Chain A
Amino acid sequence: MKHFLLVALLSWLKLHAAYSQPKPLGTALPITISGYVREAGSQEALIGVNVYRTGTSVGTTTNTYGFYSLTLPAQDSLQLTYSIVGYESQQLTIAAQKSGSINVALMAGKLLNEVVVRSRADEKVSDSPQMSQIDLPISQIKKIPALLGEKDVLKVLQLMPGVQKGSEGQSGLYVRGGGPDQNLIVLDDAVVYNASHLFGFFSVFNGDALKSVELTKGGFPARFGGRLSSVIDLNMKDGNKEKLHGEGGIGLIASRLTLEGPLTKKKSGPGATSFLLSGRRTYLDVLAAPLIAAETDGKTSAGYYFYDLNAKVNTELGPKDKLYLSGYFGRDRFFADDNSSETQTTKVGIGWGNATGTLRWNHLFSDKVFGNASLIFSNYDFSISADNKDTFNDRTTEFNLRYTSGIRDFGIKYDLDIYPNPQHSLKVGVQATAHRFTPSAVVLKNTELNESRLEVDKIDVLESGIYAEDTWKPNVHWRVNGGLRFSTFLHDAVTYVRPEPRLAAAYMIKPDLSVKASYALMNQYVHLLSNTGIGLPTDLWVPTTDRVRPQQSQQVALGMAKDFTNGGSFTNGLTLTVEGYYKRMDNIINYKEGASFLLIEDPTSAQRVRWEDNVTSGRGWSYGAEVLLQKKVGRFSGWVGYTLSWTQWQFAELNGGKPFFPRYDRRHDASVVGIYEVSPRISLSGTWVYGTGQALTLPQATYVAYSPGSPAYSYGQNGVQMLLPYGNAQTATEYGEKNSFRAEPYHRFDVAVQFHKKMKRHERTWEFSAYNAYNRRNPFFYQLATLPQSSTNPQPDLPRTILKRYSVFPIVPSVSYNFKF
């Protein structure tokens, strides 16, 4: 299959190259200029740098490892421009009679520096076939105000059109009507299954360790697959090759420290090795421990913490080979140890976390062919342990419960980037992942019942994909990315092989204005069972089986991209993108009404329930329009985003089979983000967000439900005792239609001010910020409450029932100290 695909693609490529070669280029012998673009100083590889022949649109961009290859006709001299946001662009004039390698180092831009403003002049959204994609500069993320000062990559993505937040303070992403389970979150090629800390209030990504963040919400290239709604591709920094560098911060709830530097004296060339080590930990448990101990005479301890650890080492094996080893380890832990009773001791622990590891080997086959092999490991596990010891009359009863659930992956991936000529840039690759799911494993021991049970239910499946895609620039007007992915899924009872065609095209009406269109078909073979919308660790990953089919989506998007130029030069960096989309989702899954993870496996019940019994599948559709006006350069930068959208679901077993709005259907979603560099020492930032309220199901009435059987005697009004025909009385609740209640709209304003100062050996930043600055009481959830009878409630047996709105965050001020050296 792989061979067939490659042959087919290469033939197609050859054919097109023959016909599409522009005439002036066709006359001279072609030469290839290739190399790496890195950051000056740290030697960090730069991703997505535009490399092109100055004054033309003939060019390419660097790949994930900073590599580029550009094939041009030989000539006496050639001027090349290297540019990317946040760096000073470089123009090189080179003698171009023969192929050669040119490595370039770009200087990180200094704010308010005119050179920087010029350097960004070539980053144009209108010049790429890719649509529905967002790149976030990490430096910008660090300036945007955040809850308790904890900068969060995923929460900044929530400020983009088409991407919505869930409940207040949550880091889950809802992309174009899809749920958080439909996002593929990849850190250095490894899937991160649960990106939440502290029940979703913080994401697991530590910005200090990250180099780049890219979100794709539509028009997916063929190299991406496995989820319906988005791909969030995060890359860790490689580690400074020049000198030891550190940065860190002390905040109200957590502190962090990152160190990076060379491991060898050799700064570049074969043998040069560098590392990155970054950690973050909360300290609420440490602060609370003495208080709890004092309250309970030291007999009880309890606490909660989370930590993250990122590590990466990279080494150059030779001019053509590089090796990268990176890993992420993060864990949340809640614990309680109660010895306060003389006869009883109780120990409870809940823990969850991700571990990922990636070993990557880059090999340059030629100046036109770049290869990368990755070995990938990822693991997520959730565990509960409860131990109880009860001593009564010298008899000791022990109760031990262990519950674990999780997913573990071993994966292998090979990708080739091929740059035959400036018109084509080809990517082909193959990937296979062996997943092991542990939906639930329970060990229950009880000395009294003399019973011990071990129930492990592991499922092994193999998911794989093979793809080929080409970015084709036939002439100055057209930019096309076409590709095909074959995804396969092997389970004991069922096998799926599915083709996934992808196409994206841009037509440049003018040099700064293009219209774009895309189509993508996506399959998802792993599913997340989650019914709260909150990032709970109990959210359970489960595979496609013979009873649960793969989820599938088809999305079409149309849009325009406009770069506002000033007298022909793109100096103000203002861009406007407008996109409309329609997405159809099939076989999406949801818990059945009344089911939840708590019922997945009830260790005390004699009945054994398969998780499939608790889920139901249906379809959904979402459509909408998104507008993004973004200013990336200058003293004042930021964006305004607006989304108008509709999302509906239809499940045979939910809402009586009628379509309904899922909880996160959001008609209007707007965000305004502004960063103002007041002076080199002070920066001010603010964000304002608005979103239509969530669609919720609220009780409308309760009544007593009966059925035949269990008859009981009752006295009639006539004083005669009679046998009532129906019993089993139970209070039933009437909800009306599912999600027919709209919560109040959500809006919030955050503000932050940063004071930067260069000290003798380091640079420090004080940040003061306020989350929810105007103290809006945004709804987190609603609950019914019954008021006792009162003067306003004259009914004797009918107390007044009201609806209460619970909010979580009032205005939250915070202060943090950050440093780097």
Chain B
Amino acid sequence: MKTISYSTLVVTLLTLLGCGSLVQEVDPGNLPTATPKMVVHCFISPQDTLLAVYVQAPRAVLGTKFTDNGGFYLTYSLQGSVVTLSDGTRTVQLPGVGGTIPLYYGIDTRQFPIVAGRTYTLTVSNAYFPTVTAQCTVPKAVKPTEIRADSLSGRANGLPGTTYYGRLVWQDAAGEANYYQVSGNLIKTVTRPIYTTPNVPTRDTTLTNMYPLSFNGVNLITDQNVDGQRLISARGEAREFNYNSLERTIGLVFTMTLSNIDENYYRYRETVDRQGDADENPFAEPVLVPSNIQGGYGCFGAYNQSTLTVKVK
């Protein structure tokens, strides 16, 4: 009898199969609340001709919190923002560019030159978000000493061609933390016969092709653990397919640019890249992006560029 009564208990338990979904929406009341913040991007360099600031709203994530401020156009800057840039002695206000709802706020650098070693302060205020400020110091230029170029001819993906490689070499300044970004192009000048008009004989035409060097995502460099040493960049490569047998190369030039970037820019770009790489990986730890925009998101960074060109052919 006892056995039966316990069996009944078990059966009752088993029939208590609550059939709700295993996926449920979390009560919005239990979600963390965050203060809406402005997104500001500004990068300054002594080589640039334009000073530009993007002032934008973030996209919404949780709930509707960020959308309560009005339907912002995400690719435009926030209307009516007051954007000022100061170098400690002079302050300039950057007007909106591109209409009432501006694409960005900016001025020509001739009106406000950017000088290496100087610290700049950016302030942005508008009606939608709390005012933000940010500071950065423009690093000095570092001249690269050499380009190490190489090439390898052979088939890739079934097609003949040549892969060109370039590494940039420079001397890191000792006793200070430095951050670099490397970029470059392979500029190839060729002549080849071109048919211009029917029934007119072909004539040789000179063409210049620019191939951006790919660094396989390793174009940001820090001198951590290698301070004061001679640094060599990752190998940049550009692949050129020889599909036209009539084409003749008459000139081959590597131009590689070393940007000495400030820490804010480095940390921001490096973490955003890393976040992008980890995006599709559900097992990766979330990447937190640091920002030097006080009270906001984004980056106020500075860089100083030096370019080296070598003629290969």
Contact = CB atoms under 8 A, between A and B. Distances in A.
Interface stretch (A4-12, A384-392, A462-470, A736-744): A736-744
Contacts, number: 262
B158 A448 contact: yes
Interface string A723-737: 011100011111111
Contact of B32 (A607, A700, A730, A807): A700
A702 B290 CA distance: 14
A777 interface: yes
Interface residues of B, number: 89
A726 B54 contact: yes
B285 A796 contact: no
Contacts of B98: 716-718, 720, 722
A726 B40 CA distance: 12
Interface in A545-602: 590-599
A699 interface: yes
Interface residues of A, number: 89
B91 to A, nearest CB: 21
Interface stretch (A121-129, A257-265, A428-436, A808-816): A808-816
Given A706-B54, A753-B9, A594 B274 contact: yes
A777 B22 contact: yes
Nearest to B289: A732
B253 interface: no
Given A701-B59, A702-B58, A738-B286, A744 B30 contact: yes
A801 B48 CA distance: 39
Interface stretch (B13-21, B113-121, B138-146, B240-248): B13-21
A811 B289 contact: no
A678 interface: yes
Nearest to A718: B99
B297 A805 contact: no
Contacts of B19: 810
Interface stretch (A235-243, A296-304, A768-776): A768-776
A702 B73 CA distance: 15
A129 B311 CA distance: 79
Interface stretch (A131-139, A157-165, A707-715): A707-715
A714 B2 contact: no
A508 interface: no
Contacts of A72: none
Contacts of A795: 60, 64, 67, 71
Interface in B72-97: 73-76, 97
A738 B288 contact: yes
B239 interface: no
Interface string B16-56: 11111011111010111010110101010100101010101
A187 B6 CA distance: 38
B14 A734 contact: no
Interface in B247-285: 265, 268-269, 271-278, 281, 283-285
A759 interface: no
A174 to B, nearest CB: 17
B218 interface: yes
Contacts of A268: none
Contacts of A448: 158
B106 interface: yes
Q: Which of A594, A722, A755, A803 has the most CB of B within 10 A?
A: A594
A477 interface: no
Contacts of B32: 698, 700, 736, 740-741
Interface string A356-394: 000000000000000000000000000000000000000
Q: Which of B34, B277, B290, B303 has the most CB of A within 10 A?
A: B34
Given A751-B13, A753-B9, A793 B34 contact: no
B111 interface: no
Contact of A655 (B26, B56, B271, B288): B288
Question: Which 3 A-B pairs rank lowest in CB-CB distance, beginning with the nearest?
Answer: A716-B98, A717-B99, A718-B99
23 contacts: A531-B283, A593-B271, A594-B287, A595-B284, A598-B281, A598-B283, A598-B284, A679-B2, A682-B2, A699-B61, A701-B66, A701-B297, A705-B268, A705-B298, A726-B43, A732-B297, A735-B286, A755-B3, A755-B6, A795-B60, A798-B59, A805-B26, A810-B18
Interface of A: 448-449, 531-532, 536, 590-599, 605-607, 654-656, 678-679, 681-682, 684, 697-709, 714, 716-720, 722, 724-726, 730-738, 740-741, 744, 751, 753, 755, 768, 770, 773-775, 777, 782, 784, 793, 795-798, 800-808, 810-811, 813
Interface of B: 2-3, 6-7, 9-10, 13-14, 16-20, 22-26, 28, 30-32, 34, 36-37, 39, 41, 43, 45, 48, 50, 52, 54, 56-64, 66-67, 71, 73-76, 97-104, 106, 157-158, 183, 216, 218, 234, 265, 268-269, 271-278, 281, 283-290, 297-299, 301, 303
Given A698-B32, A798-B60, A807-B22, 6 more contacts: A596-B284, A703-B57, A720-B98, A775-B17, A777-B24, A798-B59
